[in-house]
Structure 1
Amino acid sequence: MSVVGTALEQLLRLIYRRALKIAAFPEDERDSHYDLIRLSCCAAAEHIGQSPDEAAVTANDMVQFVRALVGIIELGGGSVQERSGDRPMPTRHFGSRENSTRRI
């Protein structure tokens, strides 16, 4: 796997673990966590050269992504507390034979 692919995989795992933690909180306690994500993402985007306006859009997009992921986790059923944030996400190898369907 390329360095970029590895970095992307690690970033997605980090976001997934963060979403798991947020999903464990009651809804009325989640906004402060989304605000922290927004602030850190905005700062990071500005650090890599985005204008403040572009960085704000990037940060808002990230918060929307995390909110959607939290919603998906909640719809997944079961208790969020039973899931381990340290357990790796299942890996899918798209295009491999194990996930392909046979058409006749």
Structure 2
Amino acid sequence: MPKVTYVQPDGTSRTVDATVGRSLMQVALDHGVDGIVAECGGNAMCATCHVYVAPERLDDLGPLCSDEEEMLDCTASPRAATSRLSCQLPVTEDLDGLVLRLPEEQL
């Protein structure tokens, strides 16, 4: 089972077992990770599951879809080149060791 680390804005981190096939947003909710609001339930309609991905791992995630691209322009915290919506990122074995930084705010 892949391990994913969620890093809070204050630097504290939590590493969890991620179920293959679930989204990284669902994994965060499953494990009670603070900082993922998921207001729309994972439909790429709210941008409250915004995360920053380690730059060297961006290619492991696949391309942005048009809905994700549009919603990333609506994030509460600044969008970066490494910004993604965790609801649009399915867990695969290849994501073992992935580190996601959470933004200061989601709403």
TM range (shorter): under 0.3
Q: Which has the higher strand share?
A: 2
| TM-score between the two structures when normalised by the length of structure 2 | 0.21
Instruction: Specify the structure having the higher radius of gyration (Cα).
Output: 1
- Higher RCO (CA 8 Å, separation ≥ 6 residues): 2
TM-score when normalising by structure 1: 0.22
Structure 1 or 2: more helix by fraction: 1
